[in-house]
């Protein structure tokens, strides 16, 4: 039989008023992976692809998380909201029915080009931004 007088490992104990267990021993730091906010290359594309988008780099689809877009690219909250809305509207457009598809496509293309101009304005010379229909 085990000797019950041996204390348990330091991460078992009474915190603050009763038994607990911690996956990380008290006083030790976790290895937390840093979020990668790097965007490779100097080209960005505004592109919709069957629900994906709105922004693509040379390594593929960029995250659409507003916090990531703000930290990685420095985009304003308003532009991020408009990019996400554009992506969602493109989903509806591409899966919806249209009485005049060409006219509706022209409106979406104009909206896309306006977003490209806004993106280029906020990104400056760091990236060249294009729209890929």
pLDDT, tens digit, for every residue of 33-61?
A: 667 788 999 999 999 887 678 999 999 99
* Helix, strand or coil, per DSSP, at residue 89: helix
Average pLDDT over the chain reads 82
115 within a domain of the structure (yes/no): yes
128: CB partners within 8 A, 6+ apart? 42, 43, 44, 120
Confidence of residue 83 (pLDDT cuts 50, 70, 90): very high
117 within a domain of the structure (yes/no): yes
74 within a domain of the structure (yes/no): yes
34 within a domain of the structure (yes/no): no
61 within a domain of the structure (yes/no): yes
The answer to whether the bond into 80 is cis (omega within 30° of 0) is: no
3 within a domain of the structure (yes/no): no
30 within a domain of the structure (yes/no): no
pTM: predicted TM-score of the whole model, two decimal places? 0.70
* Helix, strand or coil, per DSSP, at residue 30: coil
| CA 112/CA 131 separation, integer angstroms | 7
Domain count across the chain? 1
108 within a domain of the structure (yes/no): yes
User: What pLDDT shows up at residue 125?
Assistant: 95
Structural domain harbouring 84:
44-132
């Amino acid at each position: 039989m085990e000797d019950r007088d041996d204390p348990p490992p330091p991460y078992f104990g009474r915190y603050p008023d009763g038994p607990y267990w911690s996956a990380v021993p008290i006083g030790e730091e976790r290895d937390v992976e840093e979020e990668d906010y790097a965007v490779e290359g100097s080209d960005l594309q505004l592109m919709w692809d069957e629900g994906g988008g709105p922004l693509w780099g040379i390594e593929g689809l960029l995250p659409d998380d507003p916090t990531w877009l703000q930290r990685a690219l420095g985009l304003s909250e308003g532009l991020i909201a408009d990019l996400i809305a554009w992506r969602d509207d493109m989903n509806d457009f591409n899966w919806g029915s249209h009485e005049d598809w060409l006219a509706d496509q022209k409106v979406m293309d104009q909206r896309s080009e306006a977003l490209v101009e806004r993106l280029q304005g906020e990104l400056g010379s760091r990236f060249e931004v294009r729209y890929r229909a």
